[in-house]
Structure 1
Amino acid sequence: MKNQFWSKNPLPPYFGKPTGRNGMKGIEDQRFNFEPSVTHITEETRSPAEKAIFRNWQKKQTSESREMINLACQIGKRGHKQIEYYFNGDSTPCPVILKRHWEHLEPVLNNIHNIRLLKGYVFHHYEGFAGQVRCVGRLNNYPESVIEFKFSNSVKPTVYPEQKLQVAAYIAALNRQYGQPYGVNINHGIIITVTPYEVDITLIESQELMEYWEKWKLRVGQFWSQQRNIA
């Protein structure tokens, strides 16, 4: 295949177009079928208390803190792009703002192998959601997994429940989309969180993953119920 990181049996990428429809943010496939994104569903189904906390936080932002948030967003976008370059054998140099993160992340990337998909769109038309998987591959001797990368400027890496919900959703969509024809039956997830100071690897075993999948289905059901009420 492309290089030592890649599997000899990669998955064919599906077409996806990020777009909006009926006030929802989501992804459209090649047949113009639209599904709301995992991120949009997550945001819309937060509790009233969580939404209030977020609104209050937004009000308290100063120009300096907004600059910090923008910088963090840039680091996240460039970080994911740099991972793509790295796994595809592209020698594009690491941006200066990413160097401290990259020093911690690169040794971990070198232990990822048998990559079958990188930045691929996935759709779960039965449940009604879509998303974009960052990586499907293996880390060391861990089973084939959906691997998500999170960039943070915090001192200590933190993994949030919503991130595990995201991974569970992506795995379910991936298994449904590719399934038996491609030998895809993933039941493990990995979240790699990197800060300027360290990197954290969170492994999600099959039992925990199933628990988050059940929670995610409830969130999706809540979302579509809210949409019917709006209509």
Structure 2
Amino acid sequence: MFTFIRVLSVGGIIVPQSTSLPVRHFSAYHCLRAPKRRSPYSSVDTERYSSLVKSVMSTRVSSQTPETLQAEDDQIYGPVVKAQTPTKAETRVPKILHPFLNCQEPIETEEPESGPPARILLNRGQGRSLVPSVTRILQQTLSPDQIFYLERWRKKMIAELGEEGFKEYSQNLFRQGKLFHSALENVLTSHATWKDRNPSEYPPEVQGYMQSVSDILEDIRAVRAIESTVQHETLNYLGVVDCVARYRGVLCVIDWKTSDKPKPFLSNTYDNPLQVAAYAGALNSDANYKYQVENGLIVVAYKDGSPAHAHQLNSELMLEYWKTWLLRLEEFTEQRSSCASSAEKR
């Protein structure tokens, strides 16, 4: 029995009262009467493991050291065969490192005299029928990975559009490219800027592209060449450069590209830097151009009018891409020689 004392106040006089309650009303009563739980270790045969426990506790170093574990693994799985450190792939270099610049021509540092930009048309009839273009050389020396992804994209487009639909899609892309370049030529060869023009005067297919490059056009001055052919007599290739002009004061070979997807990084432009370096190297060796170009610019325009991405190639980058271009050119030359030899044997 537990006795509780409670205090009552009656007319200001404190009167203590006691109350007795039986213990069974408390849950503690049941806890005190609950049977004692047995330890799970009570059934362990301590004598059986006593020697093992003593040996482990009396040894300062654990018996399972890395050495013994390795020895045990060697017995079960055999000895470990260490892989050799992978060696770096050898950096390929061109067999002949042709110069990128022509030392006999000056590198311009001042603004050139005003005048119409050069436009040398491609004329295949003047002994140029056997001279390969930059585009053809790059297409025929694609890597296996590039060929795989290009073919996968082509099959995907055919699956979505059908053979005829894909053909029409390709033709529309080509047509849009021509209209875009024509519109750019119109702006760059006139004194009026894009902001001074009415966008509606251009075909609807290219209005978005022109809006996309509008800010970049504001930074282009002193146009030296537009849609002009360049040829490297020594290396025997040619191409048509989109534009040669000063971008923010730096003379550049400029290549205009269109894209449906954003290309914010230079790596997104695939072989375009090689193309620009090839054009610049040809221009620097071409007697029709009395100046040298060390820098490049790739402008990617978007049909929805979003701001274009401008990827600048400084002189150091251009030299690196020039070396890679020489490797692709060597590969193309070897392919053509191999095909010629096979044809003679037949």
Which TM-score band (shorter chain)? 0.7 to 0.9
Deviations 1:190-230 (A, max 9, x none): 11111122211111000010000000001000001001111
Which of 145, 153, 162 matches 2:252? 145
- Counterpart contact for 1:123–1:174, Cα < 8 Å: yes
Larger RCO: Structure 1 or Structure 2 (Cα < 8 Å, ≥ 6 residues apart)?
Answer: 1
Post-superposition offset of 1:157:
4.8
Matched, 1:76 2:177: yes
Structure 1 residue 177 and structure 2 residue 286: aligned? yes
Task: Please say which of residues 43-52 and 116-125 is displaced more in the overlay.
Answer: 43-52
CA contact (8 A) 2:117 2:226 kept: no
TM-score by length of 2: 0.56
AA partner of residue 186 (structure 2): Y
2:324 & 2:236 partners in 1: Cα distance? Answer: 15
> SS in structure 2 opposite 1:30?
coil
**1:104, CA displacement in angstroms?**
2.1
**3-state SS, counterpart of residue 241 of structure 2:** strand
Give the count of matched residue pairs.
213
Q: Which residue of structure 2 aligns with residue 88 of structure 1?
A: 189
TM-score, scaled relative to structure 1: 0.81
Alpha-carbon distance between aligned partners in 1 of 2:176 and 2:154, rounded to the nearest angstrom:
20
SS at match of 1:36: coil
Q: Mind listing any 5+ residue stretches in structure 1 that lack a counterpart?
A: 1-5, 18-27
The aligned counterpart of 2:242 is 134
Q: Using a 3 Å threshold, how does the CA distance of structure 1 residues 129 and 55 change in structure 2: closer, same or farther? A: same
* Post-superposition offset of 1:8: 1.6
Distance of 1:54 and 1:155 partners within structure 2: 18
Q: Is the 8 A contact 1:7 1:113 kept in 2?
A: no
How far has the Cα of 1:105 moved from its partner? 1.3
Q: CA RMSD in A?
A: 2.6
Counterpart secondary structure, 1:228 = helix
Q: Give, in angstroms, the shift of residue 99 of structure 1.
A: 1.4
Aligned sequence identity (%): 26
1:144 and 1:178, CA in 2 relative to 1: closer, same or farther beyond 3 A?
Answer: farther
Alignment partners' CA distance in 1, 2:139 and 2:153:
15
Residue range with higher mean Cα deviation, 32-41 or 120-129: 32-41
Instruction: Give the Cα separation in 2 of the matches to 1:94 and 1:218.
Output: 41
Deviations 1:159-199 (A, max 9, x none): 424000000000000010037x72x1110001111112221
Q: Does the Cα contact within 8 Å between 1:45 and 1:223 map onto a contact in 2?
A: yes
Residue in 2 that maps onto 1:58: 154
* Between 65-74 and 33-42, the greater mean CA deviation after superposition: 65-74
Separation in 1, partners of 2:128, 2:208: 41
Matched, 1:230 2:339: yes
Please point out which of 90, 97, 109 is paired with 2:217.
109
Shift of 1:106: 2.3
Report whether the alignment pairs 1:42 with 2:138. yes
Q: Any conservation in 2 of the 1:127–1:217 contact (CA below 8 Å)?
A: no
After superposition, the Cα gap between the structure-2 partners of 1:33 and 1:75, relative to the gap in structure 1 and judged at 3 Å, is: closer
For residues 176 and 96 of structure 1, what CA distance do their matches in structure 2 show? Answer: 39
| Alignment correspondent of 1:22 | none
1:223–1:75 Cα change, 3 Å: same
Is 2:311 aligned against 1:205?
Answer: no
Which structure's CA Rg is the greater one?
2
CA positional deviation for 1:133 = 0.5
Work out whether 1:216 is the aligned partner of 2:325.
Answer: yes
Task: Decide whether aligned partners of structure 1 residues 58 and 104 sit closer, same or farther in structure 2, where only a CA change above 3 A counts.
Answer: closer
Alignment match of 1:168 (pick from 271, 277, 280)? 277
More strand by share: 1
Q: 2:300 aligns with which of 184, 188, 193?
A: 193
